[in-house]
Structure formats: C-alpha cells, structure tokens
C-alpha cells in the first residue's frame, strides 16, 4: 500500500514496472459534447476573447457559420491528452505540453 505523500522504494518499483506499458484511462471525460455553454465557459476560463467562441451572431456570420470551440478545449475530452499517467504519491505531476494539428474547426453540436 502506498504511504501517503511519500515516494517509497515500493512506489518507485511500481511506477518503473509501467515503463513501456500502454496507459489507459477508465474514467469518463470531463466533456463529451461541444455545447454553447461548454464553449463559452471554456473560453472564459482560459481568457480567450475570440468572438468565434463567445458571440453567436458573429460566429454565424463568419465562414464557419457556427460557434467554434477553442482548440485547447479538446483537453477536456481526454485526461490522457493533458499528460495524465498516474504517478507517485506526494509528487506533483508536471505537464510540459502536447502537439496538435487541426484539419477543421470544432463546431458546437459535435460529439467528441
């Protein structure tokens, strides 16, 4: 059993044994659908003022004809995308980033 807040030799051995293993997440994602509310709340929470994310009339008049989700909102659809891998008790995780390539925008109404 893990000692609360301590990276013991047993915990180090446990985490080392995971090297090379596929990491899976069994918990449901924070979000599953792109909604007006999720887009607005995500944009506000991240400080993104792009009107394509917050102004429905503006977004409808754009070439996209729909509100769009901020690209970083995809992080809410999978904990694995934000670097979640489990780890050692008492050791703060560190996420250095990820690389994404978009081929089309994420529109309100889509299911991820």
Looking at the DSSP bridge assignments, the partners of residue 68 are 107
> Domains (ranges, CATH) in the chain?
30-84+102-112 (3.10.129.10)
pLDDT over 60 at 3, yes or no: no
pLDDT over 70 at 4, yes or no: no
- Six-digit token pair at 37? 């509310």
SS (H, E, C) 57-74: HHHHHCCCCCCECCHHHH
Taking only the tens place, the pLDDT of each residue in 53-112 is: 999 999 999 999 999 999 989 888 877 776 666 677 777 666 677 788 889 999 999 988
Looking at the DSSP bridge assignments, the partners of residue 111 are 33
pTM of whole model > 0.85?
no
pLDDT over 70 at 37, yes or no: yes
CA–CA dist 107, 15 (Å, integer): 39
pLDDT of residue 28: 80
- Tell me the average pLDDT across 18-47: 88
């Amino acid at each position: 059993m893990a000692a609360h807040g301590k990276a013991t030799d047993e915990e180090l051995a446990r985490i080392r044994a995971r090297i090379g293993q596929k990491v899976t997440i069994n918990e449901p994602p924070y979000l599953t659908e792109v909604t007006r509310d999720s887009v607005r709340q995500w944009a506000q929470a991240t400080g993104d003022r792009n009107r394509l994310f917050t102004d429905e009339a503006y977004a409808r008049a754009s070439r996209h004809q729909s509100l769009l989700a901020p690209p970083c909102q995809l992080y809410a659809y999978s904990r694995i995308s934000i670097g979640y891998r489990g780890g050692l008790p008492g050791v703060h995780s560190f996420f250095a980033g990820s690389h994404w390539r978009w081929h089309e925008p994420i529109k309100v109404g889509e299911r991820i």
